[in-house]
């Protein structure tokens, strides 16, 4: 029952809306927290029921709605959307948990957060293009209001900018969907039906580039990104967490699902352009982040950079790189959530996010040592230090994209180095040094402030040490997209014949030397042959 | 029993990491009542366990061929990552040395950091440090080694930044992280490339692959240089050498490890990568040029330092340069031996220096003097450490240097010049420091200088004895050269260079007739050396400049061009709306006129279209 994920938060929002004002003021947070917890538990339950061997849609639901328009209520989840649905539930829960208990107008606030979670879940689940568009637009309203009501000083400007950009993005996406439906002659918006269209490449390219601009605004790719730093700076912390953690993923998800999924030939034709855009985004975002002085802007520009990796991997379009793209979506979702949570606490306690004003916050008694340590973890995870999930996601992205776009991948890797630069600047300025007098009387940090960040940190480290828990949901789907839609061979595993066999032998024996000779990488660098390790997993597992 | 030991060898790094995790309740302030000491005890206990475990594995593996242990980690379609460990005499021996030195350094730290409030955090980082290093020693996978090197980078950053309230510490930590990160990034590029073209990241496979593969010189060259960059950063070789000197702002017990085994980890990975580097003569040449430049340059720079720790750290760079040269001439055994002997001697020197610093509360050599009679254990440790560092007495490094000289004698005899220069200059520098610290008259800061407490003296004395016994151990393991093979000329040259260096040191610094401070060269040369050949300026006009200007330009472009355009569109639409507002007068005749003119225009257009179509 996927509908629960969409409608339960709406019901919860209605419930909160009907409760008396005094009760919401006292208990609104707890009530919405309970709803969000139930949703999180339910999405985890769904994940536990998810069939890992099935690459296609699962838990599908279908109800006719407006047949004349081709609009049906179709939901389904596969390996591409499942992790994002779970992340959405998790971050919605964390956003409510990290909300200020004494926030103004609590009723509206919690209603909007729940509606936002519902719309995003709906967008990830819809299997009908129009339905996706509806959810995509619905998500815009609560976020606009959250920024416009609870935002910072320039909230009007930021919220309007966000609204206009995203609305334009929605119009472009809708026009591409209409174009596809009209030109293909299916008079349906069913994703499964539209996949079988036979449009000529030129038409596909036009539609794909419309989609690319539409979703590119959401991702955001350079130069369509300027709404993001403003929106982040003005948004309250929970909104920033959701914005960076899930809403940006709508863009990459849309590109993968609709861009790649519906126009595979065109995708392959313009993949090198996409890779070039990815490089531009990565380097531009990273360089711009170095020059910022607002902590939130640093994290926002770092998002621009890190979303570029997803685009690079998506452009490469091998099964491994698609898997890397999904992993990078998850890891960026959690890592940027952690960073925004940390910045939120710093801002709440000190009243500023300016790295030229803040100093020495790691001070053990009067500063924010735990939050500072968690921020260091977040920064290091973002910079790709092993042991945290950012590293393995980026490693897979690099490793897989290198086969297709070696130069672009190497350029993107410079972005990793630059990530270290700007986060180190931030940490050195804000957390290291001596705590100045004007920051010496900070309000105490309670454990409630730390718990959201602690939870995310634990997840980041857990998935960093045990990445297969993050990857295994999407394996089959990624392989299916790459092989069936893009027609890429899952490269036959060349028999390197390593001494994996040694695992079967008693360990006291000397390791078996290579039985078969290596297949030398003969024609370098023209074709970069790939020798892969055998599917010895089975050998080991049977051992 | 042996099997069990092999299979559990991957626990060795886990002990350190577990110790680090277990200290969390104290380091984040959950437990306050007990003070931070229990965290230290837990970590020391973990290190003892690791040492015992490594000892058993070493005993089991001693007479056996290497064994590999494969742990499946991540299996993706078409791509498998394994954590591969190898238990060979070398790898387990390296892990043993690391854990032993880590244990000594941790006990030493109990005394050195006795009154530090953040003791628990320090021990957490030391556990992390030790875990990562033993992991590198045991790893048989380039992927795992790379990951652990990065973790070493992180823990170096945090250890150097341990006293983060001081400005110098902050910039030192930043430089340490970024310099190493540059190297690691290039290494990552190499790792990704290698993973793609070789198909496996296990050293065992890479060796076999390198033996058969034919790479174009360009690819091999770039690959080699990328792989070389990681160890260059880790081993503080030119041009990534500045961080080690600055890292001396960190606490001394961490410096003991950093100058002995952490830098050795980089070289260890380099040794494992040597077969791939050997694919490209260019990479090997670069390796040797960097090693040679650092060996000579750092030896000279060390002499011009007045900070006691920095003077020693530059000589670490110099010795690692010798190791680079040994790898460049493809003599891994000698490189490993030099790493071992240098590591132990340098650790001892740093312990002794740490005692001096704690007692005198200064790191400035010019403020010291006359400590010799007051600190017997410390002076003994210093003398033994210094003697074991240079080729003069038949202690550790003498034998390693002899082997080194023997090795290059056949292929590139002129390289011996570098060795002799390093030996002589290091001898001079160590005697100079000895004279300034222990000789001469007491100064204000050294007047009241008791010997350190037993927690520091015990590891120091232990290591002194080990250093003295090291040649015997090497003899037992047949690590010493065969006398019949030894060229008397090399011995003579080695001893001569050591004697000249030390003699000059004695003449200038232990001779009361020579006025202090001694001025050997002109001011300009002295300052160039004291500021490390102004290499920070080189960074400033190259990498730093590029990044800063790139960032400034991007931010400017972002603000004024991209965002400016967006805002311009917004302002233009608002402005046009606002100005159109003033055309509204409220008088009905104006509206009628507008309407009328509009209808006329529309009709004219319609008529024009109609007629033009008609004719």
Cα diameter, chain B: 121
pLDDT of residue A522: 36
Distance from CA of A112 to the nearest CA of B (A): 28
**Within a domain: A212:** no
Q: Are residues A307 and A350 in the same domain?
A: yes
What is the full DSSP assignment across A473-505? TTHHHHHHIIIIIS------------GGGGGTS
**Within a domain: A183:** yes
Q: What is the DSSP letter of B487?
A: -
Q: Which residue's structure tokens are 């740093």?
A: B350
Is B215 in contact with A524 (CB distance < 8 Å)?
yes
CA angle A25, A30, A34 (to 5 degrees): 145
- Asked if residue A353 has pLDDT above 70, the reply is yes
Q: Please, which pLDDT band fits residue B343 given cuts at 50, 70 and 90?
A: very high
A290, A399, A510: residue with CB nearest B551: A290
Q: Are residues A409 and A516 in the same domain?
A: no
Contact A537 B66 (CB under 8 A): no
pLDDT of residue A257: 92
Dig out the tokens for B12 from the structure: 């060795």
Range name among A123-127, B93-97, B448-452, B464-468 with the lowest pLDDT average? B448-452
What ipTM was estimated for this complex? 0.89
* C-alpha span between A393 and A307 (Å, rounded): 12
Q: Which residue of B has its CA nearest to A433?
A: B165
Q: Are residues A437 and A422 in the same domain?
A: yes
Q: Which residue of B has its CA nearest to A495?
A: B199
Distance from CA of A411 to the nearest CA of B (A): 10
Q: Which residue of A has its CA nearest to B2?
A: A508
pLDDT of residue B430: 93
Which residues of chain A are within 8 Å of residue B195 when distances are taken between CB atoms?
Answer: 399
The kind and range of the H/E element at B87 are strand B79-87
**Within a domain: A258:** no
pLDDT of residue B615: 60
Of the candidates B14, B16, B98, the one whose C-alpha atom is nearest the C-alpha of residue B58 is B98
pLDDT of residue B66: 87
Mean pLDDT of chain A: 85
Distance from CA of A18 to the nearest CA of B (A): 39
Distance from CA of A75 to the nearest CA of B (A): 27
Range name among A37-46, A515-524, B301-310, B430-439 with the lowest pLDDT average? A515-524
Contact B29 A421 (CB under 8 A): no
- Asked if residue B296 has pLDDT above 50, the reply is yes
pLDDT of residue A495: 36
Q: Which residue of B has its CA nearest to A421?
A: B178
Is B429 in contact with B313 (CB distance < 8 Å)?
no
pLDDT of residue B478: 74
Dig out the tokens for B116 from the structure: 């530090």
Cα diameter, chain A: 77
pLDDT digits (tens, 9 = 90+) for A399-420: 999 989 999 999 999 999 999 9
Residues with Cβ < 8 Å from B119, sequence gap 6 or more? B36, B37, B39, B40, B113
- Asked if residue B463 has pLDDT above 80, the reply is yes
Q: Are residues A316 and A332 in the same domain?
A: yes
pLDDT digits (tens, 9 = 90+) for B216-266: 888 899 999 999 999 999 998 988 888 888 888 889 999 999 999 999 999
Which whole-number Å values give the CA distances from B181 to A38, A414, B320, B545, in the listed order? 43, 11, 19, 17
Contact B79 A396 (CB under 8 A): yes
Q: Which residue of A has its CA nearest to B557?
A: A288
- Range(s) of the domain holding residue A515: 494-543
Of the candidates A198, A448, A488, the one whose C-alpha atom is nearest the C-alpha of residue A348 is A448
Burial label for A123, CB within 10 Å (0-12, 13-18, 19+), is buried
Length of chain A: 543
* C-alpha span between B170 and A456 (Å, rounded): 27
Is A26 in contact with A75 (CB distance < 8 Å)?
no
Which residues of chain B are within 8 Å of residue A413 when distances are taken between CB atoms?
Answer: 185, 188-189, 192
Residues with Cβ < 8 Å from A380, sequence gap 6 or more? A388, A423, B154
- The alpha carbon of residue B280 and the mean position of all alpha carbons in its chain are separated, in whole angstroms, by 25
Q: Which residue of A has its CA nearest to B88?
A: A510
Is A320 in contact with A255 (CB distance < 8 Å)?
no
Dihedrals phi, psi of B398, to nearest 5 degrees: -55, -45
Is B338 in contact with B368 (CB distance < 8 Å)?
no
Q: Please, which pLDDT band fits residue A236 given cuts at 50, 70 and 90?
A: very high
Give percent of chain B above pLDDT 70.
Answer: 99
Which residues of chain A are within 8 Å of residue B148 when distances are taken between CB atoms?
Answer: 386
A373, A518, A536: residue with CB nearest B212: A518
pLDDT of residue A486: 81
Is A114 in contact with A16 (CB distance < 8 Å)?
yes
CA angle A305, A307, A312 (to 5 degrees): 100
pLDDT of residue A490: 60
pLDDT digits (tens, 9 = 90+) for A448-504: 888 999 999 999 999 999 998 888 888 888 888 888 888 776 654 443 444 433 333
* C-alpha span between A457 and A374 (Å, rounded): 7
Number of A–B residue contacts, CB under 8 Å: 223
* C-alpha span between A47 and B138 (Å, rounded): 37
Distance from CA of B223 to the nearest CA of A (A): 12
Contact A291 B551 (CB under 8 A): yes
Contact B196 A433 (CB under 8 A): no
Mean pLDDT score, A302-326: 92
pLDDT digits (tens, 9 = 90+) for B113-161: 888 888 888 999 999 999 999 999 999 999 999 999 999 999 999 999 8
pLDDT digits (tens, 9 = 90+) for A277-294: 999 999 999 999 999 999
Q: Are residues A237 and A279 in the same domain?
A: no
Is B350 in contact with B425 (CB distance < 8 Å)?
no
* C-alpha span between B452 and A156 (Å, rounded): 65
Q: Are residues A452 and A511 in the same domain?
A: no
CA angle B246, B347, B493 (to 5 degrees): 95
Cα-Cα-Cα-Cα torsion A284, A287, A289, A292, nearest 10 degrees, comes to: -120
pLDDT of residue A275: 94
Q: What number of other Cβ atoms are within 10 A of residue B524's Cβ?
A: 8
Which whole-number Å values give the CA distances from B166 to A347, A360, B153, B155, B473, in the listed order? 24, 10, 20, 18, 43
Domain boundaries, chain B: 1-140, 141-541, 548-614
Which residues of chain A are within 8 Å of residue B155 when distances are taken between CB atoms?
Answer: none
Q: Are residues A234 and A308 in the same domain?
A: no
* C-alpha span between B615 and B610 (Å, rounded): 9
* C-alpha span between B98 and B70 (Å, rounded): 22
- Asked if residue B275 has pLDDT above 70, the reply is yes
Contact A288 B68 (CB under 8 A): no
Which residue in A285, A287, A300 has the most chain B C-beta atoms within 10 A of its own C-beta, making it the best mutation to test that interface? Answer: A287
Mean pLDDT of chain B: 88
Contact A385 B174 (CB under 8 A): no
pLDDT digits (tens, 9 = 90+) for B531-566: 888 888 888 888 888 899 999 999 999 989 988 898
Contact A288 B196 (CB under 8 A): no
Higher pLDDT pick, A482 / A522: A482
- Asked if residue B520 has pLDDT above 80, the reply is no
Q: Which residue of B has its CA nearest to A503?
A: B70
Q: Are residues A480 and A507 in the same domain?
A: no
Higher pLDDT pick, B78 / A44: A44
Q: Which residue of B has its CA nearest to A522?
A: B214
Which residues of chain A are within 8 Å of residue B173 when distances are taken between CB atoms?
Answer: 428, 432
**Within a domain: A243:** yes
Which residues of chain A are within 8 Å of residue B7 when distances are taken between CB atoms?
Answer: 507
Domain count, chain A: 3
Which whole-number Å values give the CA distances from B163 to A212, A502, B253, in the listed order? 49, 48, 13
Which residue in B32, B88, B551 has the most chain A C-beta atoms within 10 A of its own C-beta, making it the best mutation to test that interface? Answer: B551
* Distance spanning both ends of chain A, measured CA to CA: 39
Of the candidates A401, A418, A420, the one whose C-alpha atom is nearest the C-alpha of residue A410 is A401
Is B159 in contact with B180 (CB distance < 8 Å)?
no
Contact B65 A537 (CB under 8 A): no
The kind and range of the H/E element at B67 are strand B67-76
Cα-Cα-Cα-Cα torsion B203, B206, B211, B215, nearest 10 degrees, comes to: -140
pLDDT digits (tens, 9 = 90+) for A524-533: 333 333 333 4
pLDDT digits (tens, 9 = 90+) for B30-66: 888 888 888 999 999 999 999 999 999 998 888 888 8
Contact B165 A478 (CB under 8 A): no
pLDDT of residue B614: 65
pLDDT digits (tens, 9 = 90+) for A74-91: 999 999 999 999 999 999
The kind and range of the H/E element at B155 are helix B142-160
């Amino acid at each position: 029952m996927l509908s629960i994920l969409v409608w339960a938060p709406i019901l919860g929002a209605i419930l909160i809306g009907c409760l008396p004002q005094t009760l919401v003021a006292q208990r609104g947070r707890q009530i919405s927290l309970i709803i969000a917890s139930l949703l999180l538990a339910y999405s985890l339950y769904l994940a536990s029921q998810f069939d890992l061997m099935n690459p296609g849609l699962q838990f599908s639901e279908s109800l006719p709605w407006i047949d004349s328009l081709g609009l049906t209520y179709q939901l389904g989840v596969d390996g591409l959307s499942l992790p994002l649905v779970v992340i959405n539930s998790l971050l919605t829960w964390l956003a409510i948990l990290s909300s200020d208990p004494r926030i103004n107008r609590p009723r509206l606030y919690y209603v909007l957060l729940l509606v936002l979670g519902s719309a995003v879940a709906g967008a990830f689940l819809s299997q009908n293009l129009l339905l996706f568009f509806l959810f995509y637009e619905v998500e815009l309203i609560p976020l606009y209001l959250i920024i416009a009501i609870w935002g910072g000083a320039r909230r009007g400007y930021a919220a309007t900018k966000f609204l206009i950009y995203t609305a334009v993005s929605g119009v472009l996406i809708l026009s591409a969907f209409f174009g596809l439906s009209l030109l293909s002659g299916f008079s349906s918006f069913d994703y499964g039906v539209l996949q079988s269209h036979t449009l000529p490449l030129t038409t596909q390219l036009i539609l794909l580039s419309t989609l690319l601009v539409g979703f590119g605004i959401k991702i955001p790719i350079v130069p369509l990104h300027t709404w993001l730093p403003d929106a982040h700076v003005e948004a309250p912390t929970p909104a920033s967490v959701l914005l960076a953690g899930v809403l940006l993923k709508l863009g990459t998800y849309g590109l993968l699902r609709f861009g790649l999924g519906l126009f595979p030939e065109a995708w392959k034709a313009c993949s090198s352009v996409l890779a070039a855009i990815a490089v531009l985004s990565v380097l531009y975002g990273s360089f711009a982040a170095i020059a910022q002085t607002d902590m939130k802007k640093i994290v926002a520009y770092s998002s621009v950079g890190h979303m570029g990796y997803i685009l690079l991997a998506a452009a490469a379009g091998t099964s491994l790189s698609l898997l890397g793209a999904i992993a990078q979506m998850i890891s960026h979702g959690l890592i940027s959530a952690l960073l925004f949570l940390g910045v939120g606490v710093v801002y709440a306690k000190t009243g500023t996010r300016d790295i030229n004003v803040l100093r020495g916050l790691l001070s053990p008694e009067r500063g924010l040592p735990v939050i500072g340590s968690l921020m260091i973890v977040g920064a290091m995870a973002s910079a790709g230090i092993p042991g945290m999930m950012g590293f393995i996601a980026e490693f897979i992205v690099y490793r897989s994209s290198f086969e297709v776009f070696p130069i672009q991948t190497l350029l993107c890797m410079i972005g990793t180095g630059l990530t270290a630069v700007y986060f180190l600047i931030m940490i050195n300025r804000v957390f290291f040094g001596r705590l100045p007098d004007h920051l010496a009387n900070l309000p105490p940090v309670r454990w409630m402030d730390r718990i959201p960040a602690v939870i995310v940190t634990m997840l980041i480290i857990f998935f960093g040490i045990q990445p297969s828990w993050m990857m295994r949901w999407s394996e089959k789907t990624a392989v299916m997209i790459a092989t069936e839609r893009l027609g890429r061979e899952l490269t036959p595993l060349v028999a390197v014949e390593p001494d994996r066999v040694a695992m079967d032998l008693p360990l006291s024996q000397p390791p078996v030397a290579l039985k078969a000779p290596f297949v030398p990488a003969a024609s370098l660098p023209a074709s970069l042959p790939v020798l892969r390790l055998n599917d010895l997993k089975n050998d080991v597992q049977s051992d | 029993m042996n099997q069990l030991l092999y299979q559990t060898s991957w626990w060795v790094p886990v002990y350190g990491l577990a110790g680090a995790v277990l200290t969390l309740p104290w380091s984040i302030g959950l437990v306050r009542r007990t003070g931070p000491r229990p965290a230290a005890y837990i970590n020391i206990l973990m290190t003892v366990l690791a040492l015992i475990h490594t000892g058993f594995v070493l005993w089991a593996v001693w007479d056996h061929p290497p064994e590999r242990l494969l742990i499946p980690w991540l299996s993706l379609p078409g791509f498998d990552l394994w954590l591969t460990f190898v238990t060979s005499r070398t790898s387990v021996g390296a892990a043993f040395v690391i854990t032993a030195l880590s244990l000594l350094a941790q006990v030493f730290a109990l005394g050195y950091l006795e009154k530090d409030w953040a003791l628990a955090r320090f021990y957490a980082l030391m556990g992390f440090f030790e875990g990562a290093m033993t992991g590198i020693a045991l790893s048989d996978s380039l992927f795992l080694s790379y990951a652990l090197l990065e973790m070493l980078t992180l823990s170096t950053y945090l250890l150097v930044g341990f006293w983060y309230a001081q400005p110098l510490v902050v910039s030192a930590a930043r430089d340490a992280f970024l310099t190493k990160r540059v190297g690691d990034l290039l290494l990552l590029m190499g790792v990704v490339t290698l993973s793609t073209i070789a198909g496996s990241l296990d050293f065992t496979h890479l060796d076999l692959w390198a033996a058969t593969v034919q790479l174009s010189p360009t690819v091999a060259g770039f690959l080699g240089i990328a792989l070389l960059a990681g160890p260059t950063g880790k081993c503080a070789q030119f041009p990534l050498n500045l961080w080690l000197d600055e890292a001396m702002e960190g606490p001394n017990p961490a410096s003991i490890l950093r100058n002995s085994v952490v830098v050795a980890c980089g070289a260890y990975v380099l040794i494992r990568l040597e077969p791939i580097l050997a694919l490209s003569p260019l990479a090997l040449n670069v390796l040797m040029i960097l090693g040679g430049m650092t060996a000579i340059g750092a030896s000279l720079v060390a002499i011009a330092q007045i900070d006691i720790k920095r003077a020693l750290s530059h000589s670490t760079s110099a010795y690692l340069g010798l190791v680079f040269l040994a790898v460049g001439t493809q003599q891994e055994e000698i490189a490993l031996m030099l790493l071992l002997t240098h590591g132990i001697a340098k650790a001892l020197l740093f312990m002794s220096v740490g005692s001096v610093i704690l007692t005198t509360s200064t790191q400035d050599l010019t403020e010291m003097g006359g400590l010799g009679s007051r600190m017997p254990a410390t002076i003994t440790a210093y003398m033994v450490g210094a003697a074991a560092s240079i080729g003069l007495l038949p202690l550790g490094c003498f034998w390693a240097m002899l082997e080194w000289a023997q090795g290059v004698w056949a292929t590139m005899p002129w390289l011996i010049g570098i060795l002799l220069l390093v030996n002589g200059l290091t001898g001079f520098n160590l005697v100079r420091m000895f004279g300034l610290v222990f000789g001469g008259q007491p100064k204000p800061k050294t007047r009241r200088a008791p010997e350190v407490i037993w927690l520091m003296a015990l590891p120091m004395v232990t290591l002194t004895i080990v250093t003295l016994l090291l040649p015997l151990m090497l003899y037992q393991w047949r690590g010493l050269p065969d006398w019949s093979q030894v060229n008397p000329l090399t011995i003579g040259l080695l001893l001569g260079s050591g004697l000249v260096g030390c003699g000059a040191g004695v003449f200038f610094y232990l001779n009361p007739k020579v006025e202090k401070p001694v001025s050997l060269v002109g001011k300009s040369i002295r300052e160039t050396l004291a500021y490390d050949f102004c290499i920070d300026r080189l960074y400033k006009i190259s990498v730093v400049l590029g990044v800063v200007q790139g960032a400034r330009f991007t931010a400017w472009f972002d603000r004024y061009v991209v965002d400016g355009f967006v805002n311009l569109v917004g302002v233009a639409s608002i402005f046009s709306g606002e100005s159109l507002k003033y055309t509204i007068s409220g008088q009905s005749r104006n509206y009628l006129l507008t309407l009328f003119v509009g209808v006329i225009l529309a009709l004219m257009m319609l008529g024009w279209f109609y007629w033009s179509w008609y004719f």
